[in-house]
Amino acid sequence: MEEATRTVATGLDDLIGIKNKNATSTTTTMTVEDTTAYATSPTSVTLVPAPNTTTTLDSMVLTPTSSTWKKLPASQKSIRTVNPIRAIVDPIARNIKTGEQRGDGKDHISLALGDPTVGGNLKVCPEAITALVEAAETNPHCAGYINACGTLQARNAIAKHHSYQAHDAVIGPDNVIVANGCSGALELALTALLDTHSTLLVPQPGFPLYQVIAESHGANVAHYRLDPEDDWKIDMDHLEEQFQNHSDVRAIVVNNPSNPTGCVFSESCLVNLLEFANKHQIPIVADEVYGDLVFGSTEFIPMAKMAARLGRRVPVITASGLAKQFLLPGWRVGWITFHDNVAGSLKEVEAGAKSLAQVILGASHLAQSVIPKLLSQSTIEWRENLRHTLERQATFICSRLQECPGLHIFSPKGAMYAMVKIDTNVFLDDVDSDIKFSMKLLEEENIFVLPGSAFGAKNMFRIVFCSGEPLLEVAVERISNFCRRHQK
């Protein structure tokens, strides 16, 4: 039989279990006789030439010795990683169509997606584009690898932004990790804190990601209530009850300003939380990705700042990023900052998070290059304008929705969301729950809102008010028509 002339590296010998006794150097020449002569057991894999082809190694195929491969199991962590929002939202979202597809001309309007760029009316901070282009054109190192925790320039800027000198709470670049978005930052922080069977306290209603991350690690989640009738304040009695009813509580997550409620916690609320954390000696993970996006006279007080004012007794891990405050969700730039207490309680957790950061090297070098500019004084006016725009749009849609029969609006004080309560006694049976309401609203009016059940708030739905007023006007009109049509 004609000898195959392909020469291959000797490493292939061990891979396929074939030894060519004629090999005399660092390469091996195979013949077809060689590839067929060593099929000596029913469990071996045989190299055979493909039919009707030239007998070179390139034309050979692996012939399986068994008719079927065994099923390969997924890891237990991947099986535990389940986002509860998907089971609720996906069946609704499948019905999204264009107005042309529907035949009624009602184009789809989403008040569900927490991406501030979707409407196109909110423009990215120009400083971000300028800084990015400048870095790409003038700094050739922006294409290279960086420290697993982020560039020194970015970490310096973040540390300065989250330092509170008046309260002797200054952190440095070594207390910062730049991550792949705020979600990636939360993943780092919670992974460094949690073990199998430990417990994480999370808000309800709240962002589902905290639960997804915790449960993926085999940890338990205990939800503490936010009271909608009291400005979404934390029910401290329920929080205490949840702590007492669960073992090995490792941390409490606080989202301020809040997704999905739009609430902003007052100074007294933060003091109560810090007293609780100090009493039980558990750290606070403060998700502050919406930061200064607050309306009117409302004041945003960072948790780490309040902890410093109270004597740095409670360790705080702050998660934030560029996605919401600078309208850059797709750039995937987030970070965590470590604000330890006077006892140094976070030392090992911080070291653990830095080890975990080496698995995935955070945000891209180029994207990180904009952080110093965006956190500087030069963007204050732009940020102020963004706040005013969001506040105006929130006031517009909330005031209009308040006129709809059967709906009660919880006016937001920050972020980009508002919760709407459905009075099921007002409506017919076909919309007597938040899920039915959302499905029917999409079906009849092509308006997509997120059912409150996705956040642990039954008979409510969440709206996003990032779109411009003309689009919000159309959305409100359709929702109003829907409510009146289904009113008893």
Q: Sign of the CA dihedral 374, 379, 382, 388?
A: positive
Mean pLDDT score, 467-472:
96
Confidence band, pLDDT 50/70/90 cuts, at residue 422: very high
Residue 324 has φ and ψ, to the nearest 5°, of -95, -50
- Please name every residue paired with 7 in a beta bridge, in sequence order, or none if there are none: 29
- Beta-carbon neighbour count of residue 43 at 10 Å? 7
- Beta-carbon neighbour count of residue 442 at 10 Å? 22
Confidence band, pLDDT 50/70/90 cuts, at residue 17: very low
Report the pLDDT value the prediction gives residue 255, as an integer from 0 to 100.
98
CA–CA separation, 277 and 304 (whole Å): 13
Mean pLDDT score, 324-343:
97
Name the least confident of 92-106, 175-189, 436-450.
Answer: 92-106
Report the pLDDT value the prediction gives residue 49, as an integer from 0 to 100.
55
If we measure between CA atoms, which residue out of 330, 358, 366 comes closest to residue 183? 330
442 three-class SS: helix
Report the pLDDT value the prediction gives residue 87, as an integer from 0 to 100.
87
Mean pLDDT score, 357-382:
93
Report the pLDDT value the prediction gives residue 62, as an integer from 0 to 100.
75
One-letter identity of residue 418:
A
If we measure between CA atoms, which residue out of 181, 206, 111 comes closest to residue 397? 111
Say if residue 362's pLDDT is above 60.
yes
29 three-class SS: strand
Mean pLDDT score, 41-69:
62
Mean pLDDT score, 473-480:
97
Name the least confident of 42-51, 64-73, 257-266, 352-361.
Answer: 42-51
Report the pLDDT value the prediction gives residue 7, as an integer from 0 to 100.
37
CA–CA separation, 192 and 186 (whole Å): 10
Report the pLDDT value the prediction gives residue 334, as an integer from 0 to 100.
97
Report the pLDDT value the prediction gives residue 352, as an integer from 0 to 100.
97
> Do the beta carbons of residue 314 and residue 306 sit within 8 Å?
no
**24-29-31 Cα angle (round to 5):** 130
Say if residue 66's pLDDT is above 80.
no
Say if residue 1's pLDDT is above 60.
no
Say if residue 22's pLDDT is above 70.
no
CA–CA separation, 99 and 445 (whole Å): 10
Report the pLDDT value the prediction gives residue 315, as an integer from 0 to 100.
98
Percentage of the residues of the chain whose pLDDT score is greater than 70: 87
Radius of gyration of the chain (CA): 28
Confidence band, pLDDT 50/70/90 cuts, at residue 27: very low
Say if residue 42's pLDDT is above 60.
no
Say if residue 25's pLDDT is above 50.
no
CA distances in angstroms from 398 to 274, 407, 414, 417, listed in the order given: 32, 10, 13, 10
How far, rounded to the nearest angstrom, does the alpha carbon of residue 3 sit from its chain's CA centroid? Answer: 57
Q: Quote the mean pLDDT of the chain.
A: 89
Q: What is the DSSP letter of 21?
A: T
Residue 266 has φ and ψ, to the nearest 5°, of -75, 170
Report the pLDDT value the prediction gives residue 54, as an integer from 0 to 100.
58
Report the pLDDT value the prediction gives residue 337, as an integer from 0 to 100.
98
Say if residue 102's pLDDT is above 60.
yes
CA–CA separation, 307 and 85 (whole Å): 33
> Do the beta carbons of residue 318 and residue 303 sit within 8 Å?
yes
**398-403-408 Cα angle (round to 5):** 65
> Do the beta carbons of residue 433 and residue 458 sit within 8 Å?
yes
If we measure between CA atoms, which residue out of 264, 244, 246 comes closest to residue 254? 264
Say if residue 201's pLDDT is above 70.
yes
| End-to-end CA, the chain | 87
Report the pLDDT value the prediction gives residue 167, as an integer from 0 to 100.
83
Report the pLDDT value the prediction gives residue 36, as an integer from 0 to 100.
39
Say if residue 10's pLDDT is above 80.
no
Mean pLDDT score, 264-279:
98
